[in-house]
Structure 1
Amino acid sequence: MTAQIRLVEITDANRDAVIALRVHPAQEKFVASVETSFRHAQAYPDAKPWFRAVYDGDTPVAFVMLSWNLVPRPEWRGPYFLWRLLVDARFQGRGYGTAILDEVVRLIRADGATELITSYMPGEGCPEPFYRAYGFEPTGEIDAEGEPILALDLTGR
């Protein structure tokens, strides 16, 4: 299946439905909740958080958050950093993660990005295989939380 998605701004009208999105319990150690993501975005405005609900039709299925075109500093990677990608447990395995990355890549390339960076918490069931299959490569760096850094070269895509 090729997922048909659209990225939607989060408003008072859809906030509760987006906050209700949850990964499988076994994945919770790898992906912070939407509510935690909102707190992070509010606490770290210098990270230039940009987030959207991901809809399939009228149904919210996922949440994505990036640092959007920030000036990199030791505590912030960038300029484009995939901070959060959360696909609700009910909708996993249907191509949404790939469709979300396709749309994010399209948007940030249009903004002039040449690279998308992310990190992951290692462990059984972590998202590393998904990111590697998409084309992210290890940089050899580890962030302050012990998460390996991956980069996706957008110049050849």
Structure 2
Amino acid sequence: MPPSLHLREITPDNFENAVALRVRPDQEHLVAPVVKSLAEAYVHPGTAWPRLICDGDEAVGFLMAFFDIDRTGGGTDFRSGLWRLNIADGQQGRGLGRFAVRSVADEIRRRGGTRLTTTWHPGPDGPAGFYRALGFRPTGETSGDQTVGVLELS
């Protein structure tokens, strides 16, 4: 993992770089484009946490986390986790996804959380192997057509 990796807030100065990020063409059906994520962040300002993944000054990915969503609306099942992860075409295999998950886990811990939740598309072309290798386990739930997974944070 490159030592120059860091997260950067989305600002007017880097907005164009953010929305220009594209995953590999064969992965486009697995994750929403960054522009959709930023629109969702705009309508969920207290929940969404969008960030560019940068290697030095270069934007190489995008993540969006969420914090303390009341899943059932009853005030008893609050979740935090990774909402979106887009690694730019040509940038995979460099540890950027692991860096992104670790960064979200660190932020959840900083906020007092102990679990990181995410979803992924099932199937042979989906990222299940990536998430399982990081320690996520399926919860048995689905969100739409996606598998819900959880990583216990220690």
Paired residue secondary structure (2:39): helix
Deviations 1:84-129 (CA, angstroms, capped at 9, x unpaired): 0111012111111111111221121111110000111223321111
1:54 corresponds in structure 2 to 53
Segments of 5+ residues of structure 1 without an aligned counterpart are: none
TM-score by length of 2: 0.90
Which whole-Å CA distance do the structure 2 matches of 1:138 and 1:90 have between them?
A: 28
Map 1:92-103 → 2, pairs under 5 A: 92-103=92-103
CA contact (8 A) 2:81 2:108 kept: no
Deviations 1:121-154 (CA, angstroms, capped at 9, x unpaired): 22332111100000000101112x1211100000
2:132 corresponds in structure 1 to 132
TM-score by length of 1: 0.88
Going from structure 1 to structure 2, the CA distance change for 1:13 and 1:55 (only over 3 Å counts) comes to: same
Which whole-Å CA distance do the structure 2 matches of 1:90 and 1:21 have between them?
A: 11
Segments of 5+ residues of structure 2 without an aligned counterpart are: none
Which whole-Å CA distance do the structure 1 matches of 2:49 and 2:119 have between them?
A: 17
Which whole-Å CA distance do the structure 2 matches of 1:9 and 1:108 have between them?
A: 17
Which whole-Å CA distance do the structure 1 matches of 2:120 and 2:111 have between them?
A: 25
Which whole-Å CA distance do the structure 1 matches of 2:147 and 2:91 have between them?
A: 26
1:120 and 2:120 are equivalent in the alignment: yes
Higher relative strand content: 2
Which whole-Å CA distance do the structure 1 matches of 2:78 and 2:126 have between them?
A: 22
Q: Percent identity over the alignment?
A: 38
CA contact (8 A) 2:81 2:104 kept: no
Residue type at the aligned position of 2:71: P
Which whole-Å CA distance do the structure 2 matches of 1:45 and 1:58 have between them?
A: 26
CA RMSD of aligned residues (A): 1.6
1:43 corresponds in structure 2 to 43
Which whole-Å CA distance do the structure 1 matches of 2:130 and 2:115 have between them?
A: 17
CA contact (8 A) 1:22 1:88 kept: yes
2:2 corresponds in structure 1 to 3
Aligned length: 150
